[in-house]
Structure 1
Amino acid sequence: MIEAPLRLAVIIGSTREGRVGDRVAGWFVAQAGLRREVSAAVVDLADYAFPADYPARATPQMSAFTAEVDRADAFVVVTPEYNHSFPASLKQAIDFAYDEWHAKPVGFVSYGCRSVGQHAVEQLRTVFTALHAVTVRDWVGVDLLGHDDLDRRLAEDTPVQAAQVLLDQLCWWGVTLRAGRAARPYVS
């Protein structure tokens, strides 16, 4: 039996004008594209018109985002670090889904100056644990300080190797948890 490719949603967490998250996500999708066992798609939060206030009923945009989360077998969250945390736009979107995150792996590609987004990743691990998701150990961190050429920086051995390790872990957990959810629905 041939296994279906792992459906990987690469979520761009920043909606700021002038962000580099879209470029970092594009690079990561290209890395994932080197693997036959992965089907990666970008989920850009900037493409959604989320409400400023949390409504009593989900809006069509909220429902569309939640459907993307539900369809995915695994996730990579591409996040900047803003003031030692992750963007409010990302937290808002994460909170629109709940059951859809359960028993699925989440990996991180972060960027920032000096800390390479480590603080954002550590806080996101806590959030996703509360949502019954499994965060993988390794992550990709990109230091933007002193690097005028992002594309050249991303082509270096360190980020490319880190991306491959992250994809290895996501594939293992993604396939394992997909089979587990199919065999026995997750109970929270």
Structure 2
Amino acid sequence: MSDPLHLALLYGSTREGRFCDTVADWLRTQLASRRDYTVDAIDPALLDLPHRHGGAPSADLVNLQQRVWRADAFVVVVPEYNHGYPSALKFVIDSVQAHWQAKPVAFVAYGGHSGGVRAAEQLRQVFSGLHAVPIRDGVYFSQAWDRFDTGGRPHEGDASERAARRMLDQLAWYGHALRQARAAWPYPAG
């Protein structure tokens, strides 16, 4: 397709010293050679978001909502903390609500033995509940802290790149199909 998708790359961690930057930077190198996406990196750690819902929205919250609304597709880079995903990510997701509807979401997850799979599976339920479309394939890094070299490249680079390519190809397919559908008629959310 000649019209690239607007991809929002959402950082799932706000912790100081987080490993999320390493994984997200690697993914950005995978995206750099693709012409089917323009990328908007959304890092909640850089946003001044409120600590609870309600009240007048901050300028950063309004900006976040607009960025998610403009996106055609999403990749969430998510760590697994204590068999789940971070609360800061849940706050971001809940702050945007309807802007996720009828848009595909993919996951690049990392963690200990599970490779972040539990966090990604929980997020599939959350995004499905918001009428987003989680895609099947993702990229998972078990023992992530030991899987990357000092330059931020996975030791199993070829396998990781193949997984990322498959995920991004599927995301592009869904992204184009759903963008056309949203343009043809409004999504009938309940």
Q: Report TM bin, short chain.
A: over 0.9
CA distance in 2, matches of 1:48, 1:110: 22
Aligned residue in 2 for 1:162: 163
- Measured on the aligned residues, the alpha-carbon RMSD in Å equals 1.5
Shift of 1:155: 6.0
How many residue pairs match? The answer is 187
Shift of 1:49: 1.2
Quick one: percent identity of the two aligned structures?
Answer: 44
**C-alpha spacing 1:187/1:19, structure 2 compared with 1 (3 Å):** same
CA distance in 2, matches of 1:82, 1:124: 13
CA distance in 2, matches of 1:76, 1:33: 14
Alignment of 1:164-183 (within 5 A): 164-183=165-184
Deviations 1:23-46 (A, max 9, x none): 211211221121111112211111
CA distance in 1, matches of 2:148, 2:40: 27
Aligned residue in 2 for 1:63: 62
Range that drifts further, 176-185 or 40-49: 40-49
Alignment of 1:9-158 (within 5 A): 9-143=8-142, 144=144, 146-147=146-147, 149=149, 151-153=152-154, 156-158=157-159
Flag structure 1 segments of 5+ consecutive residues without an equivalent: none
CA distance in 1, matches of 2:60, 2:145: 35
CA distance in 2, matches of 1:148, 1:6: 29
SS of the aligned residue for 1:98 comes to helix
TM-score by length of 1: 0.94
Flag structure 2 segments of 5+ consecutive residues without an equivalent: none
CA distance in 1, matches of 2:145, 2:65: 34
Range that drifts further, 24-33 or 132-141: 24-33
CA distance in 2, matches of 1:136, 1:181: 18
**C-alpha spacing 1:154/1:187, structure 2 compared with 1 (3 Å):** farther
Aligned partners of 1:27 and 1:154 also within 8 Å? no
Range that drifts further, 2-11 or 162-171: 2-11
TM-score by length of 2: 0.93
**C-alpha spacing 1:83/1:136, structure 2 compared with 1 (3 Å):** same
Letter paired with 2:22? R
Deviations 1:71-103 (A, max 9, x none): 100000000000000000000000011111000
